[in-house]
Every structure is written in C-alpha cells, then in structure tokens.
Amino acid sequence: MRKLIWRNLLRNKVRTLLTVLSVAIALFLLTLLGGVYRALTAVGSENSAELLVARNAISLTFQLPEAYGQRLRSIEGVEEIVGTTWFQGVYKDTRPENMFPRFAADETLFEVYQEIEISDEHLQAWLAERDAFVAGRALAEKQGWEIGDRIQIQGDIYPVNLDLVLRGLFEWPGEEFQENLIYFHRRYLEEATGNPGIVGTYWMRLSSEDVAPQVIQTSEAMFENSAAQVRTETGEAFAASFTEMLGNVQFLFGAIGLGIVISILFITANTMAMAARERTTETAVLRTLGFQRPAVLGMVLGEALLVGGLGALLGVLGGSLALQGLGEAMQQFAPTFAAVRATPGILAGALGLGLVIGFASGIIPAVAQARASIVDGLRSVG
C-alpha cells in the first residue's frame, strides 16, 4: 500500500510538483514571518522597568546635546546614566557576516546595563584605554577575535575611521542576540570627530521603577523650551508601546499567515479531490479485490500527508536559510535582528502545519472515496 501511495504521488509529476511547491512557498513565508516576529518580540524583553531612555523628541535620527547628560543625571531617582551613539561604519567590507551594530558608549555603560555580565578584569581593561572596545562573546567567537586584537571601523555616517583594540568580552544571559555588537568609548568618537558634543540616546537606571513617572515628567519638562526637546520613556513603557505596536504587527502577521494557510489549503484540497476523483474506478477495483474502507482512506490521506509534509520540509528548509541570511544582513541596523532565525519551535510548528494542511486537504476526498459505492465506482469505467 505504501508503494501505491508513493506511485500515485508520482503519477502526475507536474501536478504533484506544483502542489508541493505551493505548500512549500506557503510554509517558507510562514517560517519567515515566524522568525521575524520572534525577533521583533525579542526587542522588548531586555528592557527593565528600571531603565529609562531619553531621546530627541523628533525622532531617533536626531541627537541630543551632550550637556543634557549632566542635567538628566541630576534628576532625583536617576542612579546612573549612559550616553550611547550609533556609529554604523564598515568593518572590512559590507558582507553580511561583517555587519554588526557598533555603539559608542560612556564608561558608565555597565552600571546602567546591569543585565550585561563582564568580568572586572575585562571592564577595567576597557576603561583604561581610550581606543579599547568590548564585544559580545557571541560576536567575538563568530569573528574569531581574541583579546588584544585590533580592528578598524571605517566611518560612513561619521567621516572618521576608528582603530580599536579588543579589551573585553561581555555576555547577556538569555539574550544571546544582544551579544552581537560592540561598544567603544564615546569619548574617543567625540575626540575623533572634533568634539561636536552630541549623544544619540541617554539610558538612565532608576533607583526604583516607582520614580519613573516623575523622572519622565521632569526630564521632558526640563528641555521643553530647548531646541532639542526630549522624549523619555520607561523601559516598561517602551516595552508596552512596543508590544502595543506589535499588537498590530501580530494581527498583521497572523492575518497574512492565516490567509496563506487557507488559500494553500483550498489549492491542495482541490488537487487532492481531483486526484482522488480520477481514481474512483481504481479505488472500486481495490475494494473489489478485498481492500477495506480504512485502507482506501489511508491511501488518499497518506498521499495528502506526503504532499503536505514534503512541501513543509522544502518550505521550512528554504525559510530557515532565508532567515539566516536576513538575520545576518539586518543585524547591523539593530542587534535584535541577530535573533532572526528559525528556532526549533518555529520549524516544528511549520512542519506540523504542513501536515495539518495535508490532512485537512485529504480527509474529505479520502472519506468520500472510502464511503463510495463500489458499483458506482466500477460503473464509471469508460
């Protein structure tokens, strides 16, 4: 019977190929959506309720005067503050594997980002040298860097090249994708660019999350009449607003995914129904030979499951490769894109969905064939 299922599958090779490919494309897209969605939802997870971010009220592409740092630091409830600036630049070349986020940060970085783990030895080594940088362990392993290695980042946004030496490695437990970036001294960037005195964002660690509303209000009011107004959000608020935004994304992704699944289900079901109907006489012959109804049911269903399963395998494989490429290409813009990958959960889900599509598309024609009258089936002969 397995032989017959397989031969039936290959009976009309073009039709089978097209159906398998349609399932594969659907599952490819779903795997891709799943991976990207995972990366997007991972963004909010590193934010602590005790972290605030102050940025230019216009948008993230506008910066803040360096002088704001001292004033923000003076607000009651702010324990520590770190200014960070997005450098971008080019390391070696623009190939995806050489793209990773590069941030200039103040020395207080690890006092604000307490989730990051770095040994005291590495921290002190970084603090001690003007051109030192620290890298996430995952990135260093990927690039084959060792402590003491020198790298050059060519400026693109900024008209300077940075010569940096690796002095420390950090880890971000549970957020491995956050290890795919480097931090160097903002002071070094300032000096190299002629001390323009600008900062991308200020991250503040609060004494407690209870003071967050007050700090937000104070910080925004503090620069209300300045040329560069400030917008401050708590880590939680940021996560909440992000989640809120993701609510739409989730709906969008869900709607797209559902649409893909339903349309592909109809296509596959139609193909299976046609395939089964064409074999009505053969089914009747099999039953005349003594094959039972469940055997007929299994034969049609088995073929549908094979179509769904093969399509899912192809789609998941393609989706997984595409996610890997996408993650590498996009992580230079945001570290979270390093999290773009097909997790075992996504792969298993997509494979399962392929089988569900196969089952759902095959069950109706399978039952119809199993229940069909032998006499009617034989009568449909020529």
Partner 1 sequence: MSDATPGSGAGAAAGGELAVEIHDLTKSYKRDRFDIKVLDGLSLAVRSGEFVALMGPSGSGKSTLLNLLAGVDRPTSGELRVAGQRVGGLSDRRLAEWRHRHIGFIFQFYNLIPVLTAYENVELPLTLERLSKAQRRVKVETALGVVGLGDRMRHYPRQLSGGQEQRVAIARAIVTDPTLLLADEPTGDLDATSAAEVLDLLVQLNQEFGKTILMVTHDPRAAERASRLLHLEKGKLVESEQEALGETAPSQPVGAREA
Give exposure, 22-33, as e/b (b: 16+ Cβ within 10 Å).
bbbbbbbbbbbb
Which of 21, 228, 249, 285 binds partner 1 (CB under 8 A)? It is: 285
One of 1, 58, 157, 348 touching partner 1 (CB under 8 A): 1
Cross-strand bridge partners of residue 165: 132, 150
User: Please, which residue, 347 or 372, has the CB nearer to partner 1?
Assistant: 372
Name 250's Cβ contacts closer than 8 Å, sequence gap at least 6: 37
At 216, list the tokens.
């937000």
Other beta carbons less than 10 A from residue 154's beta carbon: 13
- φ, ψ of residue 14 to 5 degrees: the values are -65, -45
Scan for tokens 């956050």, then name that residue: 178
Q: By CB under 8 A, is residue 382 in contact with partner 1?
A: yes
In angstroms, give the least distance from the CB of 371 to partner 1.
10
- What is the pairing mode between strands 182-185 and 102-105? parallel
Interface segment toward partner 1; rule CB under 8 A; list 169-177, 222-230, 262-270, 289-297: 289-297
**Does the protein bind partner 1 through residue 276 (CB under 8 A)?**
no
Taking CB under 8 A as the rule, does residue 41 contact partner 1? no
Q: Does residue 375 touch partner 1 according to CB under 8 A? A: yes
Tokens of 70: 């001292």
**Distance, CA of 300 to CA of 303 (rounded, Å):** 5
Name the residue with tokens 């980042």: 153
Question: Residue 378 Cβ, how far from partner 1 at the closest point, in Å?
Answer: 7
Kindly state the smallest distance separating residue 267's Cβ from partner 1, in Å.
23
Site string for partner 1, 290-319 (x = CB under 8 A): xxxx--------------------------
How is residue 85 written in tokens? 């600036």
**Judged by CB under 8 A, does residue 367 bind partner 1?**
no
* 230-234 and 90-91 strand pairing: unpaired
Judged by beta carbon, residue 159 or residue 382, the one nearer partner 1 is: 382
- The count of other CB atoms within 10 Å of the CB of residue 175 is 18
Q: What residues does 253 pair with on adjacent strands?
A: none
Binding status of residue 193 toward partner 1 by CB under 8 A: no
The interface mask with partner 1, positions 8-37, x = CB under 8 A, is x-xx--------------------------
Total residues at interface with partner 1 (CB under 8 A):
25
Residue-level length of the chain: 382
Instruction: Count how many Cα atoms sit within 13 Å of the Cα of residue 125 in the half-sphere of its side chain.
Output: 17
Smallest gap from Cβ 285 to partner 1, in A, equals 5
- If the CB atoms of residues 15 and 95 are measured against partner 1, the closer one turns out to be 15
Stretch that binds partner 1, among 29-37, 81-89, 140-148, 278-286 (CB under 8 A): 278-286
First to last CA, the chain: 25
Judged by the rule CB under 8 A, the positions of this chain that interact with partner 1 are 1, 3-4, 7-8, 10-11, 281-282, 284-293, 373-375, 378, 381-382
